[in-house]
Amino acid sequence: MTPDSPLREYVEHYLPEDDVLTAARRRGADLGCVPVGPGTGSALRFLATALQAKTVVEVGTGVGVSALFLLGGMPAGGVLTSIDVEPEHQRAARKAFAEAGIPLSRTRLIMGQALDVLPRLTDGAYDLVFVDAEKSEYPRYLQEGVRLLRPGGVIAFDDVLWRGRVADPAHRDADTTVMREVARAVREDDRLVPVIIPLGDGLLVAAKLP
The C-alpha torsion from 178 through 89 and 77 to 17, rounded to 10°, is: -90
Confidence of residue 5 (pLDDT cuts 50, 70, 90): confident
The C-alpha atoms of residue 49 and residue 167 are separated, in whole angstroms, by: 31
What does pTM read for this prediction? 0.95
What is the arithmetic mean of pLDDT over 109-113?
A: 97
- pLDDT tops 80 at residue 9: yes
Decide: residue 4, CB within 10 A, 0-12 exposed, 13-18 middle, 19+ buried: exposed
The C-alpha torsion from 138 through 47 and 54 to 152, rounded to 10°, is: -70
Span 14-208: which CATH code? 3.40.50.150
